[in-house]
Chain A
Amino acid sequence: MDFLALDILSLHQALLDGKINPIELIKLSIEKAKKDQNNAFEYICEKEALAAAANLDPNKKHNLLWGIPYVLKDNFSTKDIPTTASSNILKGYVPIYSSEVYLRLSEQGAILIGKATLDELAMGGTGMTGHKGFTFNPWDPTHKRMIGGSSCGSAAVVAAGIVPFSIGSDTGDSVRKPASFAALVGMKPTWGRISRFGLFPFAPSLDHVACFTRNVTDSAVVLEALAGRDEKDSSSATAPLEKYSEAIKPDLKGKKFAVIKEINNSISNPYIHAVFDATVKALQERGAIIEYVSMDMKLCKAIYPTYIVISCCEATSNNANLDGIKFGPRFDGKDYEEVMTKARTEGFCEMIKRRFVIGSYALFKDNQAEIFLRAQKVRRLIVDATNKILEKCDAILLPASPTTAPLFNGGNSDKLSNEYLISDNHLAIGNFAGLPSIVLPLGFENGLPFGINVTGKKFAEAEVFSLAKGIEDITKLKDLVAKEDK
């Protein structure tokens, strides 16, 4: 039996039944990690993981994540385990404290087997900018296609069947977009639902902890382990929690979905339209109500620029701590200015520097009102428009991406086209508004997956899982592992 291809709940049962023990399971996972062909790992924690497996508290074996191997995106602080954020400026950095996410998962008995690659400092959506080079999409054994980013490694390890779940971070669509390209379930809950303490910030007002699994129920299981107030993150929410995995009710009767026409219509791929429409029809057949609603086209076109301005502004400030003085590699210089300048010149890739320049420019006193504050206002307008739609329905339903996984050398896409500005970036709405948002597989085109997105109301994670499960029951696309025959 291929244990690593199992979902969390089945693995849990196998562990309980004694079909495999945690140490054997962790060994399998690490063995497969070592053979990883997708450049998905920054670090494999072999020693640490085996020690953790040996020290598991048997009294906790009924925890659903007990003994389950997983991977963290390498921007979660892990005490005594290198954490680089795939950036040269943090090469060799070993944190002295652990993120809340890591602590909670360890508490549940989940076992960290590795740290995954990302677009440098979680900025980027291609999986191409990390200091270790491209991360590949396991659904394309020829390694010509991206898996998307920035949580590229976290997506690849679940899609390749190395672990049943992984943790990423989602600032614009950094978990949900790769989920779409890798036939995974990618979920980010409401902003504040999971503590961000120990997550290297990219843009805190947009940053979310998010997870990859291979089916909807597993996603709920992972959220259950992570959700809840943390005193160390004062933005973490006190809203009541639910037993998400038990609250799933896939009954779609009377459920109301809104499809935003402007976003859906900006997709040019007819096949994706066809599959989406067929799914909509199936939903209706099961008693769901679909309403096609409108969002001001000006707002739709403003999603991407708004995202870029806000995220770059916050990023340039958040990453100002990376100055080569306190931690990370030391770049010598005759004074502090030279040390900082050298560290930041040699430590960051070009894309990062570009974003910092954009962010700084937009924050300058003379530009701030015109660029940054305007972006904040537009964000507010988009959020208001989205919440207005959600007042009249249970969730917003849309194709997750306008394409399947793009080629690395696909040439320059038209960044001013509606398709790029709107349907390729609409998932950021969920970040603007901090809403629970999930992507799950919708179909395949030429062997390459694409996903569907459900976004719900604040703290309505249970509802979002239920609706997603209803869709999963229709598509029957779950527990998919990419076959990697080169």
Chain B
Amino acid sequence: MNFEAVIGLEIHVEMNTKSKMFSTAPIRYGALPNSLTVPLDFAFPGTMPVVNKQAVINAIRICNALHMTIDRELWFDRKNYFYSDLPKGYQITQQQRPIGSNGYLEIETSLGKKKISIERLHLEEDTCKQLHSWDCTLLDYNRAGIPLVEIVSRPDLRSGQEARQYAEKIRSIVSFLDVSNGKMEEGSLRCDVNISLRPIGSEKYGTKVEIKNLNSFANIEKAVDYEIKRQEMILISGDSVIQETRRFDEGIKQTVLMRLKTDAVDYKYFTEPNITPIRLSEEFIKDAIETSPELAEVKLARYKDLGLSDYDSQILISNKNTCAYFDKAIKSGPNAKLLANWIIVDVQAVLNKEMIEIDDFKVSPEHLGKLVLMIEKEQVSNKQGREIFQKLLEKDEDPEVIKKALGVDLINDNNMIAEAVKHVIDENPQAVVDYHNGKDRAVGFLVGQVMKKTAGKANPAIVSKLVIEELKRR
């Protein structure tokens, strides 16, 4: 029997807002434990939640990117349960009325584009971080209250690869929207997978298994693929899959049992009484969307219009900060293709060598743009351009200034160059003979001699053109 995997993803994205979802405490990754807290984060009696406006704006932007319906009223609910990492004894979330509903996301599959439906997106707050040691558990309240969005897909995914692509697309969206760094290894993006198998053609869902604690996009794919095989084996041997929660063990590359799903906890949801419903005006929503940072897809289309190849665009877009660098550099007016090439080849080489991110790259995008423009306008040769680039790496200043200091003004004056060409050819009669005997090397030799004579300042393109013209004449 052939089976089909039915996969849905629940993705939690931790926001990088200045302050927490309902408190004024600041957010910073890696800070001293419990240093970023206010009384609310510890649930001291009498403290009250106040909704973070930026978190709402962020949520609206993600909803928009995922083509979701955005609720015009903001409602919050309490999810009640006792746990050591939950300070208030309840989590404020949006159960009844998520801010976003019914959206979709497109992924690329071997069969072309595929729409993955998204059921809901809601705002909520994070819990404490627990640090378990052998004799005690330590609690870090820095994480308590950090804004989260939870994005719940419908079970439209069918393979590990699709699941991974979907998750990566979500990461791209939240990262391009400046909502989160989307780093799974830092826990900024967490992914739970629900997966079940059913015979192909069947409408009924099989028993689903949840996989938690996935810490990389690659592991999403591996875990799903493993889990599909595991469930297949069970079903083929005539057994039934048990409803349970599993985690992915990186060492053995298998999913392993965490706990059985017995009676589900009753979370006793009800409307948060301390936050009266907040009306989201059309203007507020419009403004949030219009001021939203550009998404990868939109950038891609724009780069295409600028004349970049798909390959170059994809490379730029694979890193949001590279895009930002490109977008700033292009403002100096250079040709997009040439600029992209410089960034992808020359700049990247420096970054690799120095093992730094583009944010730490010493040459400002304005200056690189100017340099590329100078090359494009043939004010300097390619070689001179590289020389200036080396100087820029030492000291980031206006390339014009460096050009002057190096005295590398390119000679574009035809008459001046023609003069030099005549001189050089006069001095090298053998080269003329060689040329007419079909030895093309003679051209290169003569161009080199002209360049030498002009101290490298003549425009090589003009030199080579004039050398050939002069040779033909003799």
Q: Which residues of A contact B90 (CB under 8 A)?
A: 317, 320
Main secondary structure of the interface of A (DSSP, over half): loop
Across the interface, A321 reaches (CB within 8 A) one of B45, B49, B84, B139, namely B45
Task: State the CA gap A27–B453 with chains docked (Å).
Answer: 103
- Given the interface contacts A234-B275, A317-B78, does A322 sit within 8 Å of B44 by beta carbon? no
Q: Which residues of B contact A96 (CB under 8 A)?
A: 39, 44
Across the interface, B80 reaches (CB within 8 A) one of A198, A320, A325, namely A320
Q: Which of B44, B50, B80, B266 has the most CB of A within 10 A?
A: B44
Q: Which residues of B contact A97 (CB under 8 A)?
A: 39, 44, 47
Judge whether A76 and B274 touch: CB under 8 Å: no
Task: State the CA gap A354–B92 with chains docked (Å).
Answer: 25
How large, as a class, is the contact surface on chain A?
35 or more
Q: Which residues of B contact A266 (CB under 8 A)?
A: none
Q: Which residues of A contact B82 (CB under 8 A)?
A: 320, 323, 337, 340
Tell me how far the C-beta of B283 lies from the nearest C-beta in chain A, rounded to whole angstroms: 19
A336 at the interface (CB under 8 A from B): yes
Judge whether A233 and B44 touch: CB under 8 Å: no
Judge whether B50 and A76 touch: CB under 8 Å: no
Task: State the CA gap A352–B296 with chains docked (Å).
Answer: 55
Judge whether A320 and B45 touch: CB under 8 Å: no
Judge whether B274 and A327 touch: CB under 8 Å: no
B284 at the interface (CB under 8 A from A): no
Judge whether A99 and B87 touch: CB under 8 Å: no
Judge whether A317 and B275 touch: CB under 8 Å: no
- Given the interface contacts A321-B89, A325-B84, A364-B268, does A234 sit within 8 Å of B48 by beta carbon? yes
B273 at the interface (CB under 8 A from A): yes
Q: Mark B423-450, 1 if CB is under 8 A from A, else 0.
A: 0000000000000000000000000000
- Given the interface contacts A320-B82, A336-B84, A364-B268, does A231 sit within 8 Å of B42 by beta carbon? no
Q: Which residues of A contact B49 (CB under 8 A)?
A: 234
Q: Which residues of B contact A75 (CB under 8 A)?
A: 45-46
A34 at the interface (CB under 8 A from B): no
- Given the interface contacts A204-B274, A205-B273, A340-B82, does A232 sit within 8 Å of B268 by beta carbon? no
- Given the interface contacts A234-B49, A363-B268, A363-B270, does A327 sit within 8 Å of B276 by beta carbon? no
Within 8 A of B (CB), among A345-385: 360, 363-365, 368, 372
Task: State the CA gap A340–B87 with chains docked (Å).
Answer: 12
Q: Mark B3-46, 1 if CB is under 8 A from A, else 0.
A: 00000000000000000000000000000000000010011111
Q: Which of B's residues lie within 8 Å of A, judged by CB? A: 39, 42-51, 78, 80, 82-84, 87-90, 137, 139, 266, 268, 270, 273-276
Listed from nearest, the 7 A-B pairs whose CB atoms lie closest are: A320-B89, A363-B268, A336-B84, A321-B43, A204-B273, A205-B273, A198-B46
Q: Which of A's residues lie within 8 Å of B, judged by CB? A: 75-77, 83, 85, 90, 95-97, 99, 196-201, 203-205, 231-235, 313-314, 316-317, 319-323, 325-327, 336-337, 340, 360, 363-365, 368, 372
What would be 15 A-B contacts, judged by CB atoms less than 8 Å apart? A95-B39, A96-B44, A97-B39, A97-B44, A197-B47, A233-B48, A234-B274, A317-B268, A319-B89, A320-B90, A323-B89, A325-B139, A326-B44, A340-B82, A372-B270
